[in-house]
Structure 1
Amino acid sequence: MRAARFYDQQDIRIEDIDRPIPGPDDVLIDIAWCGICGTDIHEYQDGPIFIPPKGSPHPVTGEEAPITLGHEFSGTISEVGDNVTSLKAGQNVVVEPYVIHKEYWGKDNYHLTPDQNFIGLAGGGGGLAEQIAVDQHWVHPIPDSLPLDEAALIEPLAVAYHAVERSEAKAGDVALIGGAGPIGLLTAAVAKAQGLTTIMSELSKKRIETAQETGVADHVVNPKEVDVVEEVLKLTDGKGADVGFEATSVDVVLNTLFAAVKKAGVIVNESIWGHKPAANLADLVTKEQDLRGTIGYYNSHAPSIELASSGKVDLKPFITHKIALDELVNTGFDTLIHHNDTAVKILVSPTGKGLNS
């Protein structure tokens, strides 16, 4: 089968590899769609970061570069192992793509356990391939009413869901989201679904339009046109936002959040940084703000599926491009690196099916 394989920084190859053979606890999934994640871009430009480099196999998978990429994916079960009873062939599913020592599965804070990583980064196959075999523990069925292209966004929606949980925000609060890329937009969508007022800071015309047209942003502020901090203070009667979300890995955005979030407010960092930010911690200290990290998801897939399938979050408008596997680097990565003002979420069809839909 064909798959996208990461060899090293700026070296991703589309290759023919062996099809996976499911074990007794596994399901074999025909992959329909896989999203290109900002983490994939970081790996391509700055990596390996999560990907174990050649000569340093991952402690859980035992794999090292080259690694099959892709962790935001949806598909249909084609085969189940002998021990699988809760899933069946023909069922549409998404995967919680964790790589975790089995002794921690289902335990408290399983997402923070030693050597935690992700399918499609640390090994275990990947969504940028025609098929994948995954242990049933990590496989989540989705209703037939949720299209498979939209379902490929459940993974980043779960990232956003967990980030909003980490903020401890409540209905009626005001959230400032720095960046209207896929994670920022989905964070705004979750926040809106939970009754928050959302303010987004964004430069890209396309992403500003998406934030406005989808209704996930109550207010959109373009830093080229207005002072973000002044605008947030106006909108909050001088108090500042209750919570802030950093979704860009851009220094000035993080520092804007320090300035625009209220005293004793909470700032959640969602970004995977490829560099050490120059952070103005003086604001954090003097305002007694909490800066919180968030990684992945923690029991977040089921509620995220419910948000999407119930219509509380509409994922379709965030899909701006659909491409074939051969177009991954020259079209997909190039667009997100050099023309990201034209795209939100780019989906890849490993088999080429569905590209005309």
Structure 2
Amino acid sequence: MKAARYYDRKDIRIEDIPEPELRPGTVAIDVAWCGICGTDLHEYLEGPIFIPPKGSPHPISGESAPITMGHEFSGTITALGDGVDDLAVGQNVVVEPYIIGDDVEVGPGHAYQLSKDMNFIGLGGRGGGLSEKIVVERRWVHPIGEIPLDQAALIEPLSVAHHAFVRSQARAGDTAIVGGAGPIGLLTAAVLKAEGLTVYISELSEARKQMARKTGVADDVFDPREGDVAEKVRALTGGAGADVGFECSSVPVVLDMLLDAVRPGGVIVNVSIWGRKPEVDMPKLVLKELDLRGTIGYANDHPSTIKLVQDGKLDLAPFITARIPLDDLISGGFDQLIDNNEEHVKIIVNPNL
């Protein structure tokens, strides 16, 4: 079968590899669509990061480069391993792409995303969605019902956004300010709107501002070049400020804006992955008694995220900006997201084209 294999920085090859074997307790899936994630871009340009370098196998998967990539994917079940009796061949599913220890509890209330040596399918080994087929443990498979398979490829990043919402402890009726309207910022705003919040976005890019307005994920979109965003947020909240802020840009000036725009006693959730250590206005954090919270991945968020889409509270179709075959992964996918990123939210790949 065809697969995209990561060897090293700027060295991803489309190769023919053996099909994965079905084992007890696992599920075989024909991949339909797989999204290209910002993490994949970081691996391509700056890695290996999550991907274990050649000769340094991951302590759980036992694998190192070359690794099959892709962790945002949907597909159809083709076979069930011994002991799997609560799914059916032909069901459409998504995968929560974790690699964690077999002894780690994954039920409600367990923070398994923080477990030792955690990694992701498609980065740390165990196959990936940028291939025709994959076999995964039952516990990571989630049925999606009638959600179209192309849209379902966005469930994984949407679950990242949902987990950020959960971390914020925000409620319907609250006001949120989202810093940055890239893919994760837009999806975070989409979850917040679906959960009943008033949502404002701060963004410089004209194309991304248009996407935020087109998709209806924000009540208003502000360009920081056209006035003080924090002042605008306070004016719209009776002088109080937003209840919650979400940092989705990894840009220091955006974090500064959020510290200013959120009300005293409010919460800021950092969703973005930083490539450097930013300065933080600690006096403002202290004097306003703000909570600055981190978030990584998801933990039991997939079912709630899937339900938001099934209930019609979220339309994922507008966020798909290109569909490409696996053979065009670099030129039509990675290069587009690197050189023309403002025009794209999510490029999805069909390994069978």
Normalised by the length of structure 2, the TM-score is 0.96
SS for the counterpart of 1:45 is helix
1:70-219 correspondence to structure 2 within 5 Å: 70-107=70-107, 108-143=110-145, 145-219=146-220
Does the alignment pair 1:8 with 2:12? no
For structure 1, which segment, 125-134 or 181-190, has the greater mean C-alpha deviation from structure 2 after superposition? 181-190
Q: 5 Å matches for 1:283-322? A: 283-322=284-323
Post-superposition offset of 1:222? 1.4
- Post-superposition shift, 1:157? 1.0
Question: 1:35 aligns to what?
Answer: 35
Cα deviations by residue, 1:115-143 (Å, 9 ceiling, x for unpaired): 11110111110111111000111101111
Aligned to 2:277: 276
Question: Which region of structure 1 is more displaced relative to structure 2, 10-19 or 126-135?
Answer: 10-19
Amino acid at match of 1:150: Q
Query: Residues 236-290 of structure 1: CA distance to partner in whole angstroms, max 9, x if unpaired?
Result: 2222111011111222212221121111111101112222223333322232211
Q: CA deviation at 1:190?
A: 1.2
Structure-to-structure mapping, 1:334-345, within 5 angstroms: 334-345=335-346
8 Å contact kept, 1:42–1:274 = no
Instruction: Name stretches of at least 5 consecutive residues in structure 1 with no aligned partner.
Output: 353-357
| Mapped partners of 2:302, 2:226: distance in 1 | 37
Letter in 2 for 1:137: R
1:205-239 per-residue CA deviation (whole Å, 9 max, x = no partner) reads 22212211221100101123232222222222222
Q: Which amino acid aligns with 2:285?
A: L
1:101-122: CA deviation from partner (whole Å, max 9, x where unpaired): 0111325211111111110111
Structure 1 distance, partners of 2:174, 2:133, is 43
Is 1:46 equivalent to 2:49 in the alignment? no
Amino acid at match of 1:139: V
SS at match of 2:5: strand
3-state secondary structure, aligned to 1:104: coil
Give the letter aligned to residue 315 of structure 1. L
Aligned partners of 1:17, 1:200: CA distance in 2, in Å?
44
- Distance in 1 of aligned mates of 2:11 and 2:105: 33
| TM-score normalised over the length of structure 1 | 0.95
Measure the CA separation in 1 of the matches of 2:327 and 2:274. 28
Distance, in Å, in 2 between the alignment partners of 1:90 and 1:50 is: 32
The 1:282–1:47 alpha-carbon spacing in structure 2 relative to 1, beyond 3 Å, is farther
Aligned to 2:59: 59
Amino acid in the other structure paired with 1:214: T
Q: Secondary structure at the match of 1:132?
A: strand
Once structures 1 and 2 are overlaid, which stretch shifts more, 225-234 or 304-313? 225-234
- Please list the CA deviations of residues 64-120 of structure 1 after superposition, one character each: whole Å capped at 9, or x if unmatched: 111111110000011111221111211100001110101113252111111111101
Query: Which residue in 2 is equivalent to 1:355?
Result: none
Matches of 1:46 and 1:255, distance apart in 2: 26
Answer whether contact 1:31 1:74 (CA < 8 A) is retained. Answer: yes
Identity of aligned pairs, percent? 62
Q: Secondary structure of the equivalent of 1:102?
A: coil
Q: SS in structure 2 opposite 1:266? A: strand
Q: In the alignment, is the contact (CA less than 8 A) between 1:46 and 1:274 conserved in 2?
A: no
Which segments of 5 or more consecutive residues in structure 2 lack a partner in the other structure? Answer: none
1:292-346: CA deviation from partner (whole Å, max 9, x where unpaired)? 1111111100111100111011111111111111221222112212211111111
- Whole-angstrom CA distance in 1 between matches of 2:11 and 2:237: 47
Q: 1 CA distance for matches of 2:20 and 2:351?
A: 15
- Answering whether residue 24 of structure 2 is matched by residue 24 of structure 1, we say yes
Residues 34 and 349, structure 1, Cα contact 8 Å, conserved in 2: yes
With 312-321 and 103-112 compared, the bigger mean Cα shift is at 103-112
CA contact 1:193–1:312 (8 Å) conserved in 2: yes
Using the alignment, how far apart are the partners of 1:158 and 1:301 within structure 2?
A: 6
Q: Which residue type is aligned with residue 72 of structure 2? A: E
CA-to-partner distance for each residue in 1:172-216, whole Å, 9 max, x for gaps? 111011111221111111111111100011122222122112211
Q: Report the aligned-residue RMSD.
A: 1.3
Bigger drift between 77-86 and 160-169 goes to 77-86
Q: How far apart, CA to CA, are the structure 2 residues paired with 1:46 and 1:228?
A: 32
Give, as a single letter, the amino acid of the residue that structure 1 aligns with 2:237.
Answer: T
Letter in 1 for 2:300: N
